[in-house]
Every structure is written in C-alpha cells, then in structure tokens.
Structure 1
Amino acid sequence: MTLEEKVAQLGSVWWIDPAAGGMAPMLSESIGPLPPWAEVVDGGLGQLTRTFGTAPLEPREGMRILAERQRDVVAGNRFGIPAQVHEECLTGLAAWRSTIYPAPLSWAATFDPDLIAEMGAQIGSTMSRLGIHQGLAPVLDVVRDHRWGRVEETLGEDPLLVGLVGSAYVRGLEGAGIVATLKHFVGYSASRAARNLAPVSMGPRELADVMLPPFEMALRAGARSVMNSYTDRDGVPAAADRTLLTDLLRDQLGFDGTLTADYFSVAFLQTLHGVAEDLGEAAALALQAGIDIELPSTNAFGQPLLDALAAGLVEEKTIDTALIRVLRQKCELGLLDPDWAPTEPDDVDLDAPEARALALRVAQRSMVLLANDGTLPLQPGARLVVVGPRADTYQAMLGCYSFPMHVLVHHPGVEPGLEIRSVREALAADHEVTYALGVPVVGGSDEEIAAAVAAARDADVCVVALGDEAGLFGNGTSGEGNDVATLDLPGRQEELLEALLGTGTPVVAVLLVGRPYDLSRQVDRLAAVVCAFFPGEEGAQAIADVLTGRVNPSGRLPVSFPAAGATHPSTYLAPTLGQLTDVSVVDPTALFPFGHGLSYAAATWGSVAASTEEWATDGSVELAVELGNDTDREVSEVVQVYLHDPVASVVRPVQQLVGAARVDLAVGEQARVRFTLSADLASFTGRDLVRIVEPGAVELRVGASSADIRATVALRLVGPTRQVRVERSLAPDVVVETA
C-alpha cells in the first residue's frame, strides 16, 4: 500500500446534510465542506458514519444508499476493501422506525444482566441485517456526580453493576457479530463540577478501583473496540495519552482491538485542549497515543497526517501499527473475503413484535417503586387526573440518543415512525382519566398551575408525571451537554407538585428522568413515587402495568437519590468522612439509597451463612442466602452483597457492592442463592499503586439495598498480603437453586 492508501484506511466520512448541523456543537465546522464523493472514496475509506442514523430514511432506502456507497468504496481502491459501517445503539439502533429500548440507566435498574444480553443480541441482529458492523455502545463511565448531563447514558454509580450489565450487553451485541465499542476510556464521568468535557481531577487509585473494572469486564466479554474520553486528566487529554491508551489499555489489559476516536476528539487536541499547534500535530499525538481510527469524518487523519509524516512528527511504522489493527478487524468481519458483497435492499421490520415485547420486558423490569403508602396499586374504577409536563407526550419515554430526540428534532413535522404512547394514553385504557398540563418541563404560568389544582380536587387520585426532556447541548434538561448546577426538579415542577399536594387528593409522582432529583421536601406527603429512567417505546405501558398492579415492581436504583442540603452530590461509594459526620453540617445521606426499590409483594428472607469464618487471601468463600415467596403472587428480589473493610492501608469506601443476584419466585417457591466470592473481590490499589488483598477483619453485608441490610457476616481474611494480577476475578460466581 502507498502511504495515501494506508492513511485512507484510518479515516471515515459522515455524509451529512448541513441542516443536521445542530446534532452537535461545531459539527459543520468540524467536518467542513465535503469534497466530491468520488474524491472521498478515491484510494479507500476506513469507515462510513451513521448512514441510517443521520436522517429519517425508510429502512429499504437506507440499505440502498449504504449498498451504493459500499460499491463506490470498493471500486475506489486497488484492493477492493469496503468500509466498516458504524451506528449509535445506546437505546437500540438509532435509526428511523427502529425499536427504541429503555435508556442504559434503566438497563442497570433491572439488575438483570441476562435480560440485557438478550436485548443486545436483538439489537445486534437488527444491525447485522442492515449491513452495519459496529455499534457505539455501551457507556461504561461510572457516575461520580449526578449533575452530569450524561448520567442517563450510564449504568449507574457502582463499578460492579456497571461491569455486569455493560459486559452483558457486549456479549449480546458481539454474539450477533457486531463490534461493541466501549465508551469512554476513561474517567469522563468524573469531570470537575460535572461539566461536560471539563478536566478530571482523579488520582491513579480512583482510576484503578472505580473507573477501570467495568472496562476490564467488558473486554473479557469480547468487546473489539474502545473509544477514548474527551477529557484531560491531570493536564493530559485522553486522546493524546499513550500511558492510558497503550501502556494501560493494550499492554496491561491486553486489548488488541481497534481504538476509535470519539467524534472530533483528534481535532479537539488543537481546538479545545491546546496541546497541538495544528491538525497534523494533533494527528501525530493521537496516533502515537494509540488511536487507530478518526471519527466521524476524516479531518486530521488525512492530508494533515501525511504532512506530519513528511515533517517527521510521526513515523510510518506508527501508521502501520494502526493500519494492521484496522485491517485485521475488517478481516474478522469478513470484509476482506473475495466473495464479499454489500447487503442489498430488503424489506426489514426494524420494530418487529418480538423486539417490542422485549422492550416492554426491559421497561417493566426497570420500574423502581421508591415509596408507597398503600395507594398503589390503583383501585379499579378510581377517577384519575393525570397532570404534569411528562404526562401527555411520547417524548417523555425517550433518552437523548434515541432517534427522535437525537435526529428528528432537526426534522420538524416528521413522525417518530413508531407507536409510542404517553402516560395519559396508557392509563386511559384502564381508568377514567382527565388531564391537565400544569407546567411544561421548563417555564409555565400561575394559571396553568391553578387549572391543574382544580382538576386534582375532583379526582380520587392525582398522577403527576414529572421529570426531564432529553436532548443534547442545551436542547433539553438531560443528556449530553445538559449539565446542571443543582438537583432540583427543572423549571417550576416542584412548585406544581407543592400545589397539587395542597389539594388533599392523594398524589402519585411518576418520575421520567435521566438523573435522580431531590424530592426530600415532598416525599413524606406523596402517596407514592415511581421512577422510570427514560423507559423507551413501551415505557408508558410498563408504567401503567406497575400503577395498576398488573406488574409487581421490582427495579432497583442504580443511582442514589439525594436529600436536601447535599451541596455536592456524591454516590454511595464514600469513605467515613464522605458520609454524615460531626465535622460538617452537610448531610449527604441519600433520600433513596443505591439498590433501593419496593414491591407490592416481597420475598421472605431466611438464613444467611458463609462456608467459613476464615477467608484465605488467595482463596474463596461461599455465601448462601435463602429466600421464599409466602405471598399470593410472583415476586422478584435482588440480593445484594456489600463488602465492608474497617481497617485498610488506604482509605476505602465504607461498603462496596461485590455481588448481586436477581431471583424470581413463583407462589410458594423457595430459593437458595450461592455466591462464590474470590478474595480478589476484596482487593484494592495499595499505597505503592499495586493491587493487593490485605489480611484482616471484613464484613459481608447482605441486603435488599445498600441501606437495607438483612444480615451481616463477619469474616477474617487470613494469610499474607497478596499482590493481585490483572487476570483477577472481577465478579462472583452465582448459582440460584429453586424448589
């Protein structure tokens, strides 16, 4: 290959309509004027960006366009190499008429990795049928501050939960032949003051013990691509950090797939970070750090890279290293097979009945009942007033990376192409329902609040749907770029809620949100609170199923809900001085803790026992938990195991999740849950930055949430301090036996 042909394989093109430039700041400027198509494909092309995910195309038309482009790419280079095709798939394939699944925070709320693996396989199968090769998901950033706009895209605030659910999605996607792309390596979610792209203040211990484990788990699950973070850590942008992207990711963790640049992040080394004088230097820095492919369109990895090579800023062998990885992955995908041909147009149902049914199951499983005074489930025949900014719009169900909220907002008048009902519509199927807006998500008038109050006085129960509008970069209250200064409900929603509580009518709050909000001033007066984290196209049905009692709610919180006065939002992973103490007047105790969730009927907890009192620092312990269902309906419990290490050589969280298992029990059924816990799960990064297991007393706290501990098992780790290698156990083995 000539140098030009090599470099062409490291680039991409986003053939985008200028009218879509609002999808991201600086989009049109970053891509620049597109050259003639024949020039784009001349000599080859690495990737095609978002053929389906840029504009509303009928599936058959999208397939026709993609096949035509692939034929041009093949004809445009001497070797007949097609492009690798990628799309977003954070809430399902981001394409018009394609099934919209719940947002990732809902995946985590299911505490059900097997279900998420099934969803990943369904999404991957759809992508494969269209000729797509790579999906830009999952997001494995561990939440550190709930004010960050992208909380909705994450899997929560605990690294084990993020890893279990994220790696399950990877197994599903990769099992369908789609390259899963892990985002965003690493530390993106820990930016200062939760501001998007802001610098990250993080030491090596937090990086190793909180941020890395989900990526390690997902790499073991078979992920073949990783995407860098936008941020800098201690002054070094991730896209230019060889220590991070090569020494750590490749040499230590053994990753041998492709390292994909997050959109525009190579150019950002010049324009935002100021560590490169021009695009050529930016390209050299990124390649030397370990990035293989520039997305979404060739900018720095084109002529600027060739100029940098001529100037001696980068060596040809560095380009060859990236090229080998790119071509090897294309080979794995069959793109270098002599008989390869593009996928031809076909009539593909992107929202097949089985996909909708799966979306409903995930939504139902993710609903979290936060509080209930007995008002729920709703009584048959109850007269309902449904109020609030999220009550009568299908958009309330959708996250920021769903196609309607990400793309269709730039195509006014185009319908979503799917049946997506609102809360009001779903409840009207079972009850007499009246409706009043109250206030929009942001804004509103006194008159609108007064009208909602009048309607609530005449009802048996008031269901108020509150929360977020998903969007990007200021076009919403949750989503990429929509960071907030406080965790108060947006706009005048709290004012509306107070007015409704003053009517005397029982008020059930339904939260359709992308992050947790402070309800501490109202929670004692609310009849019930149900939380849904953007539950997807079947979300309204799932909400109605829970409110009416057809479904026994069983979701659990993947993020803590704050209480009033917590001026700096924090997660449950806090040391003693990060919790309520006598040395600060700020009480960070959560209103609803990590792992919390109620049900209409719950499991009966039995004995909890460990196989030994002495846990070898190089051994394992078995923990057995007994459950039973003594109710008259099916129940589902999430057994959670937390490790408490009272004395360690470095400051540790008071407790941290080391095991979780969802257990479904039919009426009268009994279960024994056996966790086999390697001592590796008690390891941490020591003072010399080596991961170790230390001897000493520990506790295994077993419960229904991080604050609802049902049993504590005291153990002692015995033996010498042991260094733990990268091949360590990252999760327990879990067996559920039912009778």
Structure 2
Amino acid sequence: MKNQRWLLVFLFALSIQVAHSQKYKDARLSVHERTNDLLGRMTLEEKIGQMLCPLGWEMYQKKGADVSHSPKFERFVQERHIGMLWATYRADPWTKKTIETGLNPALAAKAGNALQRYIMENTRLGIPIFLAEEAPHGHMAIGTTVFPSGIGMAATWSAPTIEATGQIISKEIRLQGGHIGYGPVLDLTRDPRWSRVEETFGEDPVLSATLGAAMVRGTGKGDLTQPYSVISTLKHFLAYGIPEGGHNGNTTIIGPRDLHENFLPPFEAAIKAGALSVMTSYNSIDGVPCTANGYLLNDVLRNHWAFRGYVVSDLGSIEGLKGSHYVAETMEDAAIMATKAGVDSDLGGEAYRNLVSAVKNGRIAESLIDTAVARLLRLKFEMGLFENPYVDPEKARGNTRTSNHIAHARKVAQQSVVLLKNNNLLPLNKDVKKVAVIGPNADNRYNMLGDYTAPQEPGNIKTVLHGVRSKLKGATVEYVKGCAIRDTLNTDIDKAVAAARRADVAIVVVGGSSARDFKTQYIETGAAVASSESISDMESGEGFDRATLGLLGKQMSLLQAIKATGIPMVVIYIQGRPLNMNWAAENADALLTAWYPGQEGGNAIADVLFGDYNPAGRLPISVPRHVGQIPVYYNKKNPKGHDYVELPAAPLYSFGYGMSYSQFDYSNLLVSKKDRFTFEVSFLIKNTGAFDGDEVVQLYMRDEYASTVQPIKQLKHFNRLFLKKGEARTIKFTITEHDLSIINADMERVVEPGSFSVMIGASSDDIRLDTKISVQ
C-alpha cells in the first residue's frame, strides 16, 4: 500500500513536470499561451497537416458493434499529419454509406473516439482532430433529426424557432463527437433556376441575416466552452446564389455596392452572433475566384469585421483555381494564392500539401502558415479538446432524435407551410368520408427531405399520405401515385382519376425532388450530374440546375385530369425551388407549398389541411410567373419595372406573402422620434377572424431621395406573433440609424437627410399602413 501511494505521488509529480515543460498541455494557461507554445514545437509538415481536411467516411472501419480507425486514417495521420476531417459520419449514395454500412449515433461516437484515440496516442504532439459535419437542416448522419430545408426554415419567419433548431442540431453533432457544423447557408438567391435554392434563406438580406444569426446563437454563440456548442461554418462566401444563367458555381455578375448592401450583411450578422468559420464559394466575382479573394477574406472579414475564426475552402475549390478558373498554372500556385488570400483550411486535403515545397522554395513565408494554423489550434484549445477529446456512446444513443426533437421538427414544418390560395375549402372537415391522396410526392419518403440528407429508417419519415390517414381513422383514404416527378413512361393517371371520382376531395401532391439515389452519377465535389442515363425524381439539389420552372414529367397532365373530374382539389407543392404555379393558382380550390418539410412534414401538412394548425408561413422568395421574368426579387432598385408584352412584371406571389384561416386588421399607426436617427413605430393588430393563429407583420422602408439608387422597398423588421380570435395587440418596431443608412458613391455607409416612407403590411405587396418620417 505504501509503495502504491509513493507511485501515485511520483506519477502526479511527473505529470506536473511534463505539463510545465509542455505548456500547451497545461489547461491552467491561456489559450494564447498554449497556442504559441504548441506552434513553436511543430515542424513545417505538422503545421501544414493541421490545414488539411480530407474526406472522413473512409477513415473508420466497422465490424458489427465495433468501430476502429482504418489503415487509410493511420496512413494520413502519419504521412500528412492531418488536423481535421470532413463528413466522417456522412451517409448517402455519394459516400456509398447506407444504414447497414454507415454509423448510427452510438457507433458514430465510437468511431470519433477511435480516431481521437489513435491520433492522441500515436503522434508526437497529440493534437486532437476536428471532425466537421454537414448540418444545413440537421446533422447529415444516420439517426439524427431531419428538419425542413433552409428555404422551408426561412418560410417560418421566426427567429426563436430557428434558434431552437440550432440548439438541437449542435447537440446531436457534439453527442456523436463532431465539432464543426457546416451551415447555415446564407447565400441570397434571386434565380430559382439555380439548383441550391432549397439550402438558402431566400432573397432578402434582413430575413437571411436575422435567421442566420438565430441559427448561430442556437449552435452556441461561438462560446466553445459550452458542452454542445459547435463551430458554425457559414456558406458560401460570397454571392454564390446568383450565378450567371443559374449554373451552379458559375461566375457572378455583381457590383461592389450590391455586395455590401445585400450579400455581406447576412454573414456579418451571423459572425457577430458567434460564427467561427466561413466557407469560400466556387464562383468568381469580377474575375476573381472567391477562394482567392483577399479583399473579401482579409480586408472585409478579418480587418473590418474582426472575424476571429477560420476560413475553409469549399471541396476542391483550391484545385479549381487551376482546373476551373484557370488563374493558377500549377497546384502549388493555387495553394499559394488561396493561402495569401486568407484560406486557412483545405477541404479535400490535397491542394495544400504543395505548401511544404512552396515554403521551402521561398515562394511563401512560413509566417503565413503560422497565422493560419494558429487560428485552427486556438479553437481546439477553446473547445477543450486537449483535455476532453472523447464522448460517451450511450449518451449519443439516447439523446439524438428524441421525442422532443421530433416534436420540434413538426413545429418547424408547421410554421413553414405557406397557404397561397383558399376558396374556403380549407380547413377540411374531419367528418369527410372519402379522400383521394394523389401525386408523386404524396407518399415518397425521400422527396420530403431535400438534399444533404442521410438514409432514413422507413418509419421515421411521415409523408402526406401518412399524415392524412392519421387524421381520418374512420374514412376511406385511397392513394394513387399517378405519375413520377420526371419519368414520362410509367404513369397511372387513369387510376388517379378513378380514385378522385370516388372521393369527396382530392389532395394532389406535386413538385420536385432532391432525393439522391444509387443510380445518380456524382462528380468529385458530391454535386449530382443530370443525364439521360440517370433518370430519377431528382430535379433539384446541388448540380441540378433548371432551364425552365414548369412541373416535369406528366405532373401537369395529372393535375388537369383531376381538375376535369370536378372534385374539389387541394394542390400541394413539395419543392426545393419556387416552381411554376400559374395553373394551380388559377384552377386549384386550395394551393399551398411546404417546400421540403423534413421528417415530420406529412404530419405538419395534415395538421394544416384539417385545421389543427392555422398556417402562417410566408414566402422567403418571390414566385415568378415565367422563367423569362428572372430575376424578379421584390427589392429591386428604382425605377420600377414595366409590364412585358405577354405578362405582368410582378411575380405570381410576392416576397412575404402567405394566407391564414383567420383575418387580421391593422390600425392606429403611430411614429415617435426618439433621437436624431431613432424612431419608434407602433400599431395595433387584431385577429378579426374565427381562428386563433399567427400573423407575420412586416415593416418596409423606402428612402425617397438618395445619392445612390435605392430599392423600391426594403424589409427592415418583422415579427411572427400569435393572436387568439378577437385578440388585439400593440406592436412596436424601432427604426435605427442602420435602417436609415445607405452606401454612398464613395462606398461609405452614411445616413443622408431626407424623407423616408414607412410601410407596415402582411407582405411586400400587401401594405396596410404607411407614413413618412423625416431625418434632418
């Protein structure tokens, strides 16, 4: 016993001595001290290894209930000294990881532990590895909660809802051993032909900024000392969502003022909320690829905004400087360009290996490498990974996709449903005897989910058919698919018509799909390839850009055939982009869009259809009448466009639009000036309808005369609030100096004296109250 005590004392003293000699291992020291100490001990190769982020799903091997690191991981650690992995837990057709071959939450935690254990115990310095995971609308891993895609979350117009969503996503990532979540996607999009509209928060900078900041607050506000805080990676920097021709990754035609007025503010708001990572985009702006744009990454991001996190390339975008943009002659040139521009981490993990020779040949200073590596190491120290690199698999097993998480997914889906038309058909009576549920998206699990989604157990996803049947236990609910999204050969429209004729009401679910399958071909970045050889439902999602916006396949024929029966018809669009709705707007008895509503989408849609939830979703992006109108976003700059020969200039449905089962009255607009640049706007809103429900009140402004051309109107504030029938409430907004400011001809943000219109309404084209304020 005495010898054992002596041994313990000796080991304790030895540990103190080691910690003292290796300051970076001493948790009592500051992050700054520990980072500098560790950086000073690293070889050039070890430093550059920290900047590499290879693909992660090949780095583990699974045998039953056991998971260990793979030989490839061992080789990458020893030869490349890697400091980060991407998408270790990802499962989808591209990675060829299925429910059988991939990782459930407990196994994912074991895999993360195995990777950390090997790197901590078998490397010279024992630097823990970062695991970065895709998380745009839930952690893209088996067994996690799937929320509506970004455009659906934006349709909630609810910052509290999105913040709560972020809390769940970050918790599920951290429980499994992940540290970095790729998302939110803050690209403003003005072109629905673009394949990734579904990932965004829409067309408006204020809505995107508000919801993006809310998501980041939910993921931990950048306080990495919290147990479930993740490093949020904002995507994609910058102006990626308006590519020329709608082609994903194509060049962007945009001026510097538009960048600063619209495209930068959402990123700035999210960074102020605590985001600690930014991903570059594939496009170029005015001839400069965004992965080599030092003005954006150094001048704006770091010098102007004081961003203290790290910048990561999009997958293969450094290689793209040579192979796509042709601005670098060699891969070493590309690596040097990206490093000098401020890119700290190479997603893909190949291009930056050339930095070793670049430094040794004097082509780039090692101090630039030190700066980049220090940014990464600081975050590892802040997160406490050196002291606590492992997680508990049992906690991962029991605390992902819980009943509370599923309930919240249903709530988000409910709030995201946008009612576009209702000829008093909705809500449906639950006493209805016969219902026909028809259409390619009526009972297709994966078409509910959107891109960046892992394989799902069959019972986890609730389709519209499931939701309707859950509401009507005693009724006859007949389902016929009718047709597919894209396939024009295999149809059963006649059967759908027969089912409709037997029903009291037909619910027809059409739209699009981002559901990947094992027949679809993929390029190295994971983007899908549209080809005649891989016909599936997929017509949206990364790589699936559209030239038109009409319903594909035989969907229009299906709608027209059901309409011809004379049976009351509800049309539901499940979609990743605003598709053409002209026919449905004119012919359906009720029309709504649920975007990609996630795993609880079917239940949420049924809640709306049968009046258990009063819809209040609002469009975060305008719905065009025709592809020839594009772009047709609401906050275009003066002058206002005139009508075309063939059709109006206005969209079919405008930004901010959405109906309710109730009605809301706006009155008593008052404005009081608090100081030179601050005004309080108040008004009364009353639920005058027969249903309790939410209303989304929106405040728009217009600078009447300014030194640079301004938008016709611009959203400044909004609020989603619940009112019982008959209830009235006074709403207040505060107009600030920032709301009044413009970017003048000298690219300075200033407030100019003059008159401003203040407009309160239920959408951008439904203004109920208006007044003017004057700034002296």
Query: What TM-score, normalized by structure 2, do the two folds share?
Result: 0.85
Runs of 4+ in 1 over 4 A off after TM superposition: none
Mapped contact 2:506–2:567 kept (Cα < 8 A): yes
2:390 counterpart of 1:342 = yes
Could you tell me which amino acid in structure 2 is paired with residue 683 of structure 1?
A: S
Give, in angstroms, the shift of residue 355 of structure 1.
0.3
- Partners of 1:352 and 1:260 lie apart in 2 by 32
CA distance in 2, matches of 1:48, 1:684: 42
Deviation for aligned residue 1:8 = 1.0
Deviations 1:418-470 (A, max 9, x none): 52122112112214211222210012349622322232222211111011111
Partner of 1:285: 337
- 1:170 corresponds to which residue? 216
Report the Cα distance in structure 2 between the residues aligned to 1:264 and 1:332, rounded to whole angstroms. Answer: 28
Name the residue aligned to 1:625: 683
1:362 to 395, 407, 412: 412
> 1:283 and 1:446 mapped to 2: Cα distance?
50
Alpha carbons of structure 1 residues 15 and 120: separation in structure 2 relative to 1, 3 Å: closer
Kindly state the Cα deviation for residue 231 of structure 1 after the two structures are TM-superposed. Answer: 0.6
1:256-267 equivalences under 5 Å are 256-267=308-319
Name the CA distance, whole Å, in 2 between partners of 1:636 and 1:447: 40
Unpaired runs of 5+ residues, structure 2, are 1-41, 62-69, 92-96, 222-227, 516-526, 531-535
Work out the CA distance in 1 between the residues paired with 2:707 and 2:558.
50
1:279 shift after superposition: 1.8
CA distance in 2, matches of 1:624, 1:490: 46
What whole-Å deviation, never above 9, does each CA across 1:481-521 have from its counterpart, x for those lacking one?
Answer: 11111221222212221222222111110110111122223
1:371 aligned counterpart, secondary structure: strand
Deviation at 1:673, TM superposition (A): 1.0
Per-residue Cα deviation, 1:152-206 (whole angstroms, up to 9, x for no partner): 0000111000010111000001253111111111110111011100001110011
Shift of 1:417: 6.2
Paired residues of 1:400 and 1:479 also in contact (CA < 8 A):
yes
The count of residues paired between Structure 1 and Structure 2 equals 687
In the alignment, does 2:99 pair up with 1:53?
no
Deviations 1:639-689 (A, max 9, x none): 101112232222222101001011111344321111011132122222222
Name whichever of 56-65 and 80-89 sits farther off: 56-65
How much has 1:606 moved relative to structure 2? 2.5
Deviation at 1:259, TM superposition (A): 0.8
1:251-289 superposed Cα distances (whole Å, 9 cap, x missing partner): 111111111111111111111111112221111111100
The CA distance in 2 between the partners of 1:388 and 1:499, in whole Å, is 12
Residues 565 and 588 of structure 1 are in contact (CA less than 8 Å); yes or no, is this contact kept in structure 2? no
Aligned-partner residue type, residue 226 of structure 1: V
Measure, in 1, the Cα distance between the counterparts of 2:113 and 2:654: 50
* Distance (Å, rounded) in 1 between the aligned partners of 2:330 and 2:315: 17
- Aligned equivalents of 1:522, 1:37: Cα separation in 2: 53
In structure 1, the partner of 2:175 is 129
- Aligned counterparts of 1:48 and 1:576: Cα–Cα separation in 2: 47
**Structure 1 pair 418–282 and aligned structure 2 pair: CA distance change class (3 A):** farther
CA separation of 1:417 and 1:98: change in aligned 2, threshold 3 A: farther
The separation in 2 between residues aligned to 1:645 and 1:454, in whole angstroms, is 57
Within the alignment, does 1:479 sit opposite 2:541 as a pair?
A: yes
Contact persistence 2:54–2:350 (CA under 8 A): no
Secondary structure at the residue paired with 1:521? helix
Q: Which amino acid aligns with 2:81?
A: G
Aligned to 2:592: 530
Match of 1:25 in 2: none
Q: CA deviation at 1:17?
A: 4.8
Deviation of the 1:565 alpha carbon? 6.7
Offset of residue 326 of structure 1: 0.8
Q: 1:628 to 1:646 in 2, by over 3 A?
A: same
- Report what 1:645 is aligned to: 703
Q: Distance in 2 between matches of 1:354 and 1:257?
A: 32
- Kindly report which structure 2 residues correspond to 1:307-346, keeping only aligned pairs within 5 A, or say none: 307-336=357-386, 339-346=387-394
Of 702-711 and 663-672, deviating more is 663-672
Separation in 2, partners of 1:264, 1:418: 36
1:97 and 1:417 in contact (8 A); partners too: no
The partner residue of 1:373 within 408, 413, 423 is: 423
The alpha-carbon distance between structure 1 residues 283 and 76, as it changes in their structure 2 partners (threshold 3 A), is: farther
Are 1:384 and 2:420 an aligned pair?
A: no
Shift of 1:704: 0.3
Residue in 1 that maps onto 2:296: 244
Matching residue of 1:2? 43
SS in 2 for 1:403: coil
Out of 724, 729, 745, the position equivalent to 1:687 is 745
Provide the residue aligned with 2:478 in structure 1: 434
CA distance in 1: counterparts of 2:270 and 2:688, whole angstroms? 38
Percent identical across equivalent pairs? 37
Q: 1:125 to 1:522 in 2, by over 3 A?
A: closer
- The secondary structure found in structure 1 opposite 2:197 is helix
Matching residue within 300, 303, 317 for 2:351 = 300
- Tell whether the 8 Å contact from 2:149 to 2:596 is kept in structure 1 after alignment: yes
Q: Partners in 2 of 1:341 and 1:203 — Cα distance?
A: 45
User: CA 1:113/1:547 → structure 2, altered by over 3 Å: closer, same or farther?
Assistant: same
Note the 1:439-450 alignment, pairs <5 A.
439-445=483-489, 448-450=492-494
Is the 1:566–1:587 Cα contact (8 Å) retained in structure 2? no
* Inter-partner Cα distance in structure 1 for 2:408 and 2:760: 31
Cα deviation, 1:707-726, whole Å, max 9, x if unaligned, reads 110011112222xxxxxxxx
**Residue 713 (structure 2) aligns with:** 655
AA at the equivalent of 1:696: G
Which residue of 440, 445, 451 corresponds with 1:394? 445
1:40 matched residue in structure 2: 76
Give, as a single letter, the amino acid of the residue that structure 2 aligns with 1:494.
Answer: M
- For 1:449 and 1:580, the matched residues in 2 are separated by 41
Q: Which deviates the most, 320-329 or 168-177?
A: 168-177
Deviation at 1:697, TM superposition (A): 1.7
Q: CA deviation at 1:586?
A: 5.6
Task: Tell me if the contact between 1:44 and 1:74 (Cα under 8 Å) persists in the aligned partners.
Answer: no
- Provide the residue aligned with 1:67 in structure 2: 113
d(CA) in 1 for partners of 2:425, 2:499: 19
Structure 1: tracts of 5 or more residues without a match: 21-33, 405-414, 719-739
> Do the aligned residues in 2 keep the contact of 1:603 with 1:635 (CA within 8 Å)?
no
Supply the distance in 2 between the matched residues of 1:180 and 1:4 (Cα, whole angstroms): 27
Q: What SS class does the counterpart of residue 241 from structure 2 fall into?
A: helix
SS in 2 for 1:621: strand
SS of 1:456's equivalent?
Answer: helix
1:212 and 2:264 equivalent? yes
How far apart are the structure 2 equivalents of 1:586 and 1:210?
Answer: 28
Q: 1:11 to 1:76 in 2, by over 3 A?
A: farther
What letter is aligned with 1:626?
L
Instruction: Give the AA of the match of 1:624.
Output: S
Counterpart position of 1:541: 603
Task: Tell me the secondary structure at the aligned position of residue 189 of structure 1.
Answer: coil
- Aligned partners of 1:388, 1:465: CA distance in 2, in Å? 5
2:592 aligns to what SS in structure 1?
A: strand
The residue type paired with residue 173 of structure 1 is: T
Deviation at residue 577 of structure 1 after TM alignment: 4.1
Q: Structure 2: how far apart are the matches of 1:390 and 1:447?
A: 14
Residue matched to 2:502: 458
1:606 corresponds in structure 2 to: 667
SS state of the match for residue 583, structure 2?
Answer: coil
